[in-house]
Each structure stands twice: as C-alpha cells, then as structure tokens.
Structure 1
Amino acid sequence: MIAGRYSLEHEIGRGGMGAVWLGRDEVLGRPVALKRLGMPLEGSSPDLERAAREARLAARLNHPRVVAVFDLVREGNEHWLVMEYVEGSTLAQLVRDRGPLTPDQAAPVLGQVAEALAAAHAAGIVHRDVKPSNILVGPHGEVKLSDFGIARAEADATLTRTGMVTGSPAYLAPEVASGHPATEASDIWSLGATLFHALAGAPPYEVSENVLGALYRIVHEDPPRLPDAGWLSPLLAATMTHDPAERWPAARVREYLAAGPADLAPLRSSRAARTPRPDPDRARTRAVPAVPASGARSRRRAPVLPLFMGLAVVALLAVVAVAIGRDAGDGGRPAAAETSAPRSPSPTVAPGPTAAGMRSFVENYLRTAAEDPEAGYAMLTPGFQDQSNGLTGYTSFWGDVVWVDAIRITEADPETLEVGYTYTYQVASGAPHSEGVRLRLAYDDGRYLIAAEA
C-alpha cells in the first residue's frame, strides 16, 4: 500500500523517470497509474522536481486529451506520481504491433494530440517531449498526451542548463537540437515527426547509438518526406520545416486533421502519364524569383513557381474574357457568354480583390500550370517573369511536373494581397514533394497576377 491509500497490482511500463504500475485508489475505488520516481536519499532530486512540475502543469490544463495527475506522494524513500489510468497502449506500441498506419488511421490520433497541444500552448505550456511513447491510445480511439515531466511554463525558469538538449533525439526540432530553448513551434515539429513515425513505422531519424550524428542531420539536412503520406503530405511539410515561423500552430493542425481529405480533391492532370520531353540543353534550375533567398526559403522556390504558373493562367483567361466581351468574376474566372448585342457604354467598377477570388485564382493557376506551363507563365507579372528567368527558366521546372494534388489554401488576405497555400506535386523523375508557399498577388480591374514571393 502506498501512502495508506494506493495499492499496487503489476508493472505496466517503464520510462526514463522510472517504472509505471497499475494500481487502485482504495479511497475512491478507481484504477490509477503510479509512476515510481526512484529512491532519493534526501527530500529532493531532479526526478522529484520534474514530477512535481508534471503534477502542477497537468493540474493547470485539466483537459480531456491530457493524462490527469491526481497526487504526488512519498512512501519511505520512494516518491510516486499518481495519475489517471488510460486503458490501451502507446502509439509507439500500436505501430510496433500493427505496422504503419494509413493517413486516415493516423489523422484522428494526431488530431487529438494537436488538440491537447493547442490547450497546453494556450496555457503557456510547452511540452518539449512529444513522441509516440507519450501518446496513449484507448480501445475506442480516445487519445491522451502524457508525461509533462520536462514541460515548462513560459514564465518558469527552466530545469536545464543553458544549451542543454532535452527531449527524445529522433523527434527534436532543429532549433532544440542545436541547443536553443524549446517553444510552441518546437512541439509542432515533434508532432510532425510523430506523424512521420505513425505513417512510416519508424522515426524520421535513426538515432541508435550515434546521437550526435542524428542531431547533425536534424539541424543541417532537409527534413525527410514520405512518398505515400497521401493527404497528410502537406501537414508533414507544414510541421517538419526548419523555420519555426513557418510551422502551423497546433490549432491549425487540429483543424486540418478534423477537416479530412474531403475538400482536398486530387488535381491530377492528364499529363501524369506523359513521357517528359527530352531536352538536354534545358536548365534544371527551378524557375523562381531572382531575389536572394536563404535557408528554408531557398528550398521552397520550386513549389512557388507551380503556383505562379497556375495564377498566370487564370490571369490570361481574364484578359481573354475582357477581349471577347465577357465579365471577369472573382479570381479572373470568366462569366457566362453574353449575347452579341452591343455593350452598354456605361462604365463598370471592378469589385476589388476578395479572399474568394484569390483562392479561386490560386487553385486555377495550379491546375493550369500542371496542364500548360506556358499558360501558367502568362499569369505572372512582367517583373516576376523576369525574376523567373523568362519562359525557359519557368518551364525548366513546370515542364517536368506531371501532377499537383492536395491543394489547400491556408490564407488569403485581400488587404495585403498575400496568399498562402500547401500542395503536393511530382516531377517525372522524382517522388511526390509537399510544400508550403506564400505569394503576393497583383490586382487590377478584376485581374489577378502573381507579383512576388511573399
């Protein structure tokens, strides 16, 4: 009997902080999980301090997707953390037993984790150790995030020394792997790495005994991608990206997973089965703006071009619509053809840019770019055409794109004319690649064009 109240049945797990036992609260008559925290000789230790923090932080959250902590007690020289017992297994064990999950199987699990992180981040708490073994999955699909033992509130002093890396190496964000403090964005990277593990059946980075080598790859190499992640490919790209500012917040991840693939209809072009045209003289450089870029920005340029091309096509359609006497609606989409009667001489006023028009323009641009790169090129402003190295430079990328898929507009602001989106594309000789892109459009009298990379 622990603290005169909790009886022990059998060990159900073991982690870095100690063994976890299934027990029973004899006072309230309910099952509990008890984590043994070692045998400190004095009344304080790092493990005990971590456990006390876990209890305080979990109590602050009081969220259905977070494992509740009930008590912290001492029995002799041992301290025990008394927690909610969750029947089921960890996500890590689930993947070991059943193999990789499909996107549709992984989505509800990770969506509930994102819900827990959104609540934690709203409370000013960074978890710092999101990984499959800290995600508990119940028999009916209910999910809870556990082990806030190394989490910290933003206003608290960290338990670790400056520059000390905390967390599980395979799931660490690049900035944490290089010794910087963890932030909410670091949790999002770890969530993406956990999603990768669920879909691939293994972590995104092999650590084994070479921890330093893994940390080097996390910091200096492009994040790994999965060719068969399906509609979750854009989410992997939006979470496992080197720039913390470009990672989606937990609330957006939750919304994306809750929406599912229904509104992400594939936009596969008829060019998918086409054999690419051989052209040894064609430059292999992707057509992008001539503006200097660095870091993650430079890695994103190719995806920006596909969007540019699609947008250019829509703009071209709008120009043609005006030329033949049709009204151009939002996003440059031509309205139904009118009769041959002469137009009224009274002037018309363009409605101005709208979020719906911007979204429509981008979607049409991507479709057009995959089908007809030259038409996509026409949807760029002259200045951006020059920055993309002309038509030759532009088609050096888009000429090889065989399909685009999973287009999702994440932002469209008529005030700034900036639009953000994620999508997946594939070139003839490569695997599918997912990207997040942000552009600035130009708008004039009902027409949109792509002006720059935002």
Structure 2
Amino acid sequence: MDKPVLGDYRIEGIVGVGRMGVVYLAIDRITGRAVALKVLRDDVGVDPVYRARFRREGELLAQLNHPHIIPIHGMGEVDGELYMASRLVSSTLRNLILAGPISVDDAMTILTALATALDAAHAVGVVHRDVKPANVLIDPGPDVYLGDFGLARDHEGSQLTLPGQVLGTIDYMAPELLDGERVGAATDIYGLACLACETLTGTVPYVRETDAATMYAHIVEPPPSVSERRPELPAALDAVLAAGMAKDPEDRPASAGALVVDMLGALGRPAPACLAEAA
C-alpha cells in the first residue's frame, strides 16, 4: 500500500499532536530530506481564525532566521489542507525533564540558547506567548530550538484572539496574560523563568490541583525557591528567578538574555559571548 502524500512530502508516521496541528515524520520527495510536517488538524481546519494563525506561524518562522529558532523548509496548501515543513528534531525539553534530573551545565546551555532565540524574536517585535518545555526542541548535543510560534504576536499587535480568551499554558503564564492585559517581551521573560525553574528542579513553579489554583498562584503568590527544591543550587538563584517572575512586567529583567546572565552570575559562572550584550 502506498504511503499518503501531501504536496512534495511522503508521510511516514505521526510524531505528535498539538493544539492546532498534527506533526508527521515525512520525506521530501524531491530532496529526500526527512522533515517534521505540521498539518492543521481537521477539527480546527475549517475555522478561519485557526487557518490564519497557522499561516502566520509559518510566515513568522520564515522571517526569524536564528540558529536557535526552528527553521522552516516550506509551507503550502493542498486541497484545503494547510501544511508546514520544518527541521526534524529528535526530542523536546519536556522529554528530558521527564527522563530525570538535568545537570546544571546542560540546563544553562539550554536556557542560554532559548534566551538568544527570544531576544532575537523580541528585537523584531515578535512575542512568543507560549514558552514551555514542550515547545523547546532538542537534538543530542544539546542542539536547542525554540518552536511552535502558533500563539505568537507580531509587531503589528495582531493576536487572532477572541475577547476574553486566554491562550497559552497555565503553568508558565504571566499574570498579565491571565488578567487580559497587554503582553510584551516581559511576558516571555516570565515564561522563561518558569521554564528555568522546571528545568532545574523537575517541577513547575506552582504545583496545584486545579487550573484556577495555578492561575491564582501566578497572580498573587511569591515565586518558589529552587534552592529548597534542589539544595545544590545557591540561594542567590532564588532572587534572580523571583525577579524573572515578578508580578509587574516592569520589575522583570530587561531581556531574556539579562535573566540568564543573572542566573549564571548567581551560579558563579561567566556569561558566554552570545549573551555579552545582555550582561
């Protein structure tokens, strides 16, 4: 039986299912290259808002040419099915966290790469709005890529969001996202601080039984202590992550790079050259 084909791609199997799309392992029939082929799910494919959001994700990824942002190989539409082909990556940060403790060295390598990716996006007015381990793609090395810009907001401020609709992932959502206030680069910095907490300790910042309780914690409760969860970490790191998770966006570090530079400082480590401007 012939394998299904979509445009120039032969589908080999399913990699995963996300909020908007199904990701397939596919082979480019022209180049022979294996790719991750993201296809808009059937249940949302008829919704013009989701179709517009999917197209814009591809456009943003095509514009964001950065070594730590997942590269896109192409996008198109066949018989009403929207698809996007990107680099095929073997795993995610979420999988690494579930597999067991991540060394501090590897954690800081990952966070440094993410900070440069976010700062590059922010420099052209793009806010990711969904920074979380499942959206961090990793190959052995680790080679790190920020992916899934499906909820991103561009410099023109268009959000494709209905009034009162909250988009994102509760465990990493800044208070301003939950309150429906205007989002900006500081929103992603909050998400990066939450992700840093989980990467270093294996647990999300606020472990609560309900989404409502988690939302309440993000809005009013103090940030957790990573040094209590992982005693080998210095107490100075708690203050750095608390600044990254400040309730008021104005009180957070000026950039994602600045947050990671401060983390490295708390750990007694120098900032790498790629974060020199943030130091």
Q: Which string of whole-angstrom CA distances, capped at 9 and with x for unpartnered residues, describes residues 22-42 of structure 1?
A: 111111221110112122698
Using the TM superposition, give the Cα deviation of residue 226 of structure 1 relative to its aligned residue in structure 2, in angstroms: 1.6
1:414 maps to which residue? Answer: none
CA distance in 2, matches of 1:106, 1:65: 15
1:96 maps to which residue? Answer: 98
Q: Is the 8 A contact 1:170 1:207 kept in 2?
A: no
CA distance in 1, matches of 2:85, 2:133: 21
1:360 maps to which residue? Answer: none
Q: Is the 8 A contact 1:169 1:207 kept in 2?
A: no
CA distance in 2, matches of 1:213, 1:258: 31
Q: Report the identity percentage.
A: 35
Question: In structure 2, what residue type is equivalent to 1:226?
Answer: V
CA distance in 2, matches of 1:235, 1:137: 25
Question: In structure 2, what residue type is equivalent to 1:242?
Answer: K
Q: Is the 8 A contact 1:37 1:79 kept in 2?
A: yes
Question: In structure 1, what residue type is equivalent to 2:257?
Answer: A
Q: Which string of whole-angstrom CA distances, capped at 9 and with x for unpartnered residues, describes residues 67-117 of structure 1?
A: 12232223334322211212x2111111101x2323333111111000100
2:258 maps to which residue? Answer: 252
Q: After the TM superposition, which residues 344-355 of structure 1 pair with which residues of structure 2 at under 5 Å, given as runs?
A: none
Does residue 85 in structure 1 map to residue 91 in structure 2? no
CA distance in 2, matches of 1:263, 1:5: 47
Q: Is the 8 A contact 1:8 1:22 kept in 2?
A: yes
CA distance in 2, matches of 1:39, 1:19: 9
Does residue 75 in structure 1 map to residue 83 in structure 2? no
**Number of paired residues?**
263
Using the TM superposition, give the Cα deviation of residue 134 of structure 1 relative to its aligned residue in structure 2, in angstroms: 0.3
2:58 maps to which residue? Answer: 55
Q: After the TM superposition, which residues 24-423 of structure 1 pair with which residues of structure 2 at under 5 Å, given as runs?
A: 24-39=27-42, 45-86=48-89, 88-97=90-99, 99-206=100-207, 210-227=210-227, 228=231, 229-230=233-234, 232-248=237-253, 249-256=255-262, 261-262=267-268
SS in 2 for 1:52: helix
1:11 maps to which residue? Answer: 14
1:283 maps to which residue? Answer: none
Q: TM-score, normalised by structure 2?
A: 0.85
**Which consecutive residues of structure 1, in runs of 5 or more, have no partner in the other structure?**
265-409, 412-454
CA distance in 2, matches of 1:262, 1:41: 48
Question: In structure 2, what residue type is equivalent to 1:10?
Answer: G
CA distance in 2, matches of 1:40, 1:198: 33
Q: Is the 8 A contact 1:55 1:70 kept in 2?
A: no
Q: Which string of whole-angstrom CA distances, capped at 9 and with x for unpartnered residues, describes residues 361-405 of structure 1?
A: xxxxxxxxxxxxxxxxxxxxxxxxxxxxxxxxxxxxxxxxxxxxx
Query: CA separation of 1:220/1:70 partners in 2, compared to 1, >3 Å: closer, same or farther?
Result: same
Q: Which string of whole-angstrom CA distances, capped at 9 and with x for unpartnered residues, describes residues 161-186 of structure 1?
A: 34422110010011212221321101
Using the TM superposition, give the Cα deviation of residue 156 of structure 1 relative to its aligned residue in structure 2, in angstroms: 3.3
Q: Is the 8 A contact 1:204 1:224 kept in 2?
A: yes
CA distance in 1, matches of 2:127, 2:147: 13
Query: CA separation of 1:37/1:263 partners in 2, compared to 1, >3 Å: closer, same or farther?
Result: closer
Query: CA separation of 1:40/1:186 partners in 2, compared to 1, >3 Å: closer, same or farther?
Result: same
SS in 2 for 1:115: helix
Say what the alpha-carbon RMSD is for the aligned residues.
2.4
**Which consecutive residues of structure 2, in runs of 5 or more, have no partner in the other structure?**
271-277
Query: CA separation of 1:242/1:11 partners in 2, compared to 1, >3 Å: closer, same or farther?
Result: same
Using the TM superposition, give the Cα deviation of residue 121 of structure 1 relative to its aligned residue in structure 2, in angstroms: 0.4
CA distance in 1, matches of 2:20, 2:158: 20
CA distance in 2, matches of 1:206, 1:247: 22
Higher normalized contact order (CA 8 Å, seq sep 6+, divided by chain length):
2
Using the TM superposition, give the Cα deviation of residue 44 of structure 1 relative to its aligned residue in structure 2, in angstroms: 5.4
Query: CA separation of 1:80/1:207 partners in 2, compared to 1, >3 Å: closer, same or farther?
Result: farther
Moved over 6 A (4+): 40-43
Q: Is the 8 A contact 2:44 2:50 kept in 1?
A: no
Query: CA separation of 1:260/1:31 partners in 2, compared to 1, >3 Å: closer, same or farther?
Result: farther
